[in-house]
């Protein structure tokens, strides 16, 4: 093995702040293992922000040869459902997250949690409080004023134990009593002002059924669940930073394995909204067709849109991890999927807005039999047979009557290459009664390299044989919102005012016949148009429906729009 040239410094890949923390821990103690977890609440579908967290947690475990758990934070039966559990499991797996045999539920720990609560009561660290929700709010104080002690704060241990037992036994109605940690009502951190550990909730839980009528709060559950599972790095988003002292407090009082909580900034993407509440609103008010609408940045929506796990992971890798509240440009997401699909998507031809072209010197009933490569950069992908008869369709926008000099496509008297077929010269423009271009008559030369007027033909356009073309529904998706930050709305308005009215355009396109065999979820590049995927819900055998995943980069179009 040749020695490394000293003149070339080994460039260490840059490490995010969490990796740096772990590196430092391991430098001090080589024994430390990395054990992370992804802890969703099963009260909705996962979105791309969760993907960032999954990739982070799973990626860390992978990198340090540690472990990764999937654990549901199911402490609020009022909001949680099995349906969400199932979809989350499916999405995490699709993304590539592997929890092996470590699929857990916080509800698995309800007994242990209760025993620990009893211990805290016995140690004088928790008490049963009879304040109503409203009274508790009044006692809590404000951001600038300390709170007042609850009158029940000084209840004796025996009474607390008895009351807690009876809460659990179902003697009290919802909301009548809580178990609270006895910390400090004057703390500047409101989370430490005697936070609720248990509330009475006579509700059916998707896993524990009717076994419980008191349920532990997030704060009392999360850290201990981490501890039970032997989690070493409990990674969560920034809004939990204020909860860390409480997280640590419970662990310390209970004298159990202490995981370390580290917070990072959640993902924001331009032209989109990310909160569960808003996504839910989009679905419920019918602004989109459902949680898996391809315009939604839910994992399910992205899957249906044609995003691949590889592209999602590459995206998450690229955006990095930090504590700065940033907004990533949607273009990065689009770039990630282009990069992936450019490699793996087979090329096909499809015309979105057809314009009929008659090739005057091609004989009717004697179509040409052509062979076109499936992937020009990867000839090993082979070729497919494509027929070309006397009549074909080209894209309306590939013809211009009064074309600017830099227009390399078809114009009256001009020449263009028909991809994989030959050169067409526009001899005649046929118009309808309104004066709109209805049809073109072109002469055709099957020599693709033929020169015209001594010059080689610069432009190449795609086309589809009119006779054998498939009429298929194609859905052209665009950003769901018209502005970068949809939450910035006009006075009195909401993010809904920024909805993009043309985020979905449905068209019946002309596709080359081989596309009839597309299998659900299969991606293609429609040459010069974009990447498309056969819709996994609405496609029928032999009759696919395509969703546009993303357009191709279009520097010419962009320069024209300016």
Partner RNA sequence: UGGGGAGUGGUGUAAUCGGUAGCACGACGGAUUCUGAUUCCGUUAGUCGGGGUUCAAGUCCCUGCUCCCCAGCCA
Q: How far apart are the first and last CA of the chain?
A: 54
362 to 401, contacts with RNA by CB under 7 A? 375-377
94 to 113, contacts with RNA by CB under 7 A? none
| Least distance between RNA and beta carbon 7 (Å) | 11
| Least distance between RNA and beta carbon 504 (Å) | 23
Buried/exposed 387-400: b ≥16 CB within 10 Å, e otherwise: bbbbbbbbbeebbe
Binding footprint of RNA, residue count (CB under 7 A): 94
Q: Is 328 a residue that touches RNA (CB under 7 A)?
A: yes
301 is in an annotated binding site: no
| Least distance between RNA and beta carbon 33 (Å) | 23
The closest of 302, 237, 229, 292 to 52, measured between CA atoms, is 237
Instruction: Return the structure tokens found at 396.
Output: 């309306």
218 is in an annotated binding site: yes
Backbone angles phi, psi at 438, to 5 degrees: -105, -30
Instruction: Return the structure tokens found at 284.
Output: 């419920």
Nearer to RNA, 371 or 537 (CB): 371
Q: Is 190 a residue that touches RNA (CB under 7 A)?
A: yes
In a 3-state reduction of DSSP, which class is residue 53? Answer: helix
The secondary structure of residue 163, as a DSSP letter, is H
Residues 348, 512: contact at Cβ < 8 Å? yes
Sort 98 into a burial class: Cβ within 10 Å, 0-12 / 13-18 / 19+.
middle
Nearer to RNA, 142 or 541 (CB): 142
336 to 365, contacts with RNA by CB under 7 A? 338-339, 342, 347
| Least distance between RNA and beta carbon 152 (Å) | 11
Q: For RNA, which stretch binds (CB under 7 A), given 9-17, 48-56, 155-163, 384-392?
A: 9-17
Q: Which of 117, 231, 362, 461 binds RNA (CB under 7 A)?
A: 461
Q: For RNA, which stretch binds (CB under 7 A), given 54-62, 142-150, 253-261, 301-309?
A: 142-150
Known catalytic residue: 158? no
Q: For RNA, which stretch binds (CB under 7 A), given 182-190, 205-213, 284-292, 467-475?
A: 182-190
Nearer to RNA, 397 or 543 (CB): 397
Please name the residues in contact with 39: beta carbons below 8 A apart, sequence gap of 6 or more. 71, 72, 73, 106, 222, 225, 236
Q: Which H or E element spans position 286?
A: none
C-alpha–C-alpha distance, residues 71 and 489, integer Å? 37
48 is in an annotated binding site: yes
Residues 194, 180: contact at Cβ < 8 Å? yes
Q: Is 137 a residue that touches RNA (CB under 7 A)?
A: yes
Distances (CA, A) of 427 to 139, 376, 420, 437, 454: 86, 30, 21, 14, 18
Backbone angles phi, psi at 452, to 5 degrees: -125, 125
Nearer to RNA, 236 or 504 (CB): 236
Q: How many residues does the chain have?
A: 562
59 to 78, contacts with RNA by CB under 7 A? 73, 75-76, 78
Q: For RNA, which stretch binds (CB under 7 A), given 54-62, 458-466, 468-476, 513-521?
A: 458-466
Q: Which H or E element spans position 420?
A: none
What is the bridge-based pairing of β-strands 383-388 and 460-461?
unpaired
Nearer to RNA, 339 or 439 (CB): 339
Residues 544, 534: contact at Cβ < 8 Å? yes
267 is in an annotated binding site: yes
Residues 87, 50: contact at Cβ < 8 Å? no
Nearer to RNA, 139 or 293 (CB): 139
Q: Which of 26, 266, 278, 356 is catalytic?
A: 266
The closest of 445, 420, 444 to 512, measured between CA atoms, is 420
C-alpha–C-alpha distance, residues 334 and 328, integer Å? 11
Known catalytic residue: 276? yes
Known catalytic residue: 411? no
Q: Is 318 a residue that touches RNA (CB under 7 A)?
A: yes
493 to 552, contacts with RNA by CB under 7 A? 525, 527-528, 552
Q: Which of 26, 153, 201, 276 is catalytic?
A: 276
49 is in an annotated binding site: yes
401 to 420, contacts with RNA by CB under 7 A? 406-409, 417, 419-420
217 is in an annotated binding site: no
Q: Which of 41, 310, 339, 484 is catalytic?
A: 41
Backbone angles phi, psi at 187, to 5 degrees: -60, 140
216 to 255, contacts with RNA by CB under 7 A? 217-219, 222, 238-243
The secondary structure of residue 361, as a DSSP letter, is T
Residue numbers belonging to the annotated binding site for ATP? 41-43, 47-53, 237, 266-267, 274-276
Residue numbers belonging to the annotated binding site for L-glutamine? 73, 218
Query: What residues are annotated to the active site?
Result: 41, 266, 276
Residue numbers belonging to the annotated binding site? 41-43, 47-53, 73, 218, 237, 266-267, 274-276
């Amino acid at each position: 093995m040749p020695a490394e040239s000293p003149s070339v410094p080994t460039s260490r890949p840059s490490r995010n702040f969490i990796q740096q923390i772990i590196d430092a821990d391991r430098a001090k103690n080589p024994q430390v293992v990395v054990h992370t977890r992804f802890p969703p609440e099963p009260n909705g579908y996962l979105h791309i922000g969760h993907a960032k967290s999954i990739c982070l947690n799973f990626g860390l475990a992978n990198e340090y040869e540690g472990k990764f758990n999937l654990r549901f934070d199911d402490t609020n039966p009022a909001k949680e459902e099995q349906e969400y559990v199932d979809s989350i499991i499916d999405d995490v797996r699709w993304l590539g997250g592997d929890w092996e045999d470590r699929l857990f539920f916080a509800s698995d720990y309800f007994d242990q949690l209760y025993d620990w609560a009893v211990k805290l009561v016995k140690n004088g660290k928790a008490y049963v409080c009879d304040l109503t929700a409203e009274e508790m709010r009044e006692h809590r104080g404000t951001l600038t004023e300390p709170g007042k002690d609850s009158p029940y704060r000084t209840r004796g241990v025996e009474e607390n134990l008895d009351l807690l037992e009876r809460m659990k036994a179902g003697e009290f109605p919802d909301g009548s009593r809580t178990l609270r940690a006895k910390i400090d009502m004057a703390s500047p951190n409101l989370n430490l002002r005697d936070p609720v550990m248990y509330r009475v909730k006579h509700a059916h839980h998707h896993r524990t059924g009717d076994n419980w009528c008191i349920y532990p709060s997030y704060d009392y559950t999360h850290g201990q669940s981490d501890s039970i599972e032997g989690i070493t790095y409990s990674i969560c988003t920034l809004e939990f930073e204020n909860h860390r002292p409480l997280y640590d407090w419970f662990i310390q009082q209970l004298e159990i394995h202490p995981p370390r909580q580290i917070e990072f900034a959640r993902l924001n993407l331009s032209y989109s909204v990310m909160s569960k509440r808003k996504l839910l609103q989009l679905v419920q008010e019918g602004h989109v067709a459902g949680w898996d609408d391809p315009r939604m940045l839910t994992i399910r929506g992205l899957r249906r849109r044609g995003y691949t796990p590889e592209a999602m992971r590459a995206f998450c890798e690229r955006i990095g991890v930090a504590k700065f509240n940033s907004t990533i440009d949607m273009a990065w997401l689009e770039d990630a999927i282009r990069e992936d699909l450019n490699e793996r998507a087979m090329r096909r031809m499809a015309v979105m807005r057809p314009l009929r072209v008659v090739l005057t010197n091609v004989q009717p009933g004697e179509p040409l039999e052509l062979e076109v490569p499936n992937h020009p950069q990867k000839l090993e992908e082979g070729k497919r047979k494509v027929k070309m008869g006397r009549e074909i369709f080209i894209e309306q926008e590939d013809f211009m009557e009064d074309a600017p000099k830099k227009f390399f496509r078809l114009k009256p008297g001009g020449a263009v290459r028909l991809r994989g077929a030959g050169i067409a010269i526009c001899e005649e423009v046929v118009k309808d009664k309104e004066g709109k271009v209805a049809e073109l008559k072109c002469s055709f030369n099957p020599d693709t390299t033929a020169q015209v007027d001594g010059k080689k033909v610069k432009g190449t356009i795609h086309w589809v044989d009119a006779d054998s073309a498939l009429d298929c529904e194609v859905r052209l998706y665009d950003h769901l919102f018209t502005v970068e930050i949809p939450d910035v709305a006009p006075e009195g308005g909401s993010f809904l005012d920024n909805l993009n009215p043309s985020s979905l355009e449905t068209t019946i396109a002309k596709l080359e016949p081989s596309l009839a065999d597309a299998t659900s979820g299969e991606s293609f590049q429609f040459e010069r148009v974009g990447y498309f995927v056969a819709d996994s819900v609405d496609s029928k055998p032999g009759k696919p429906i395509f969703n546009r995943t993303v357009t191709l980069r279009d520097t010419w179009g962009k320069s024209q729009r300016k």
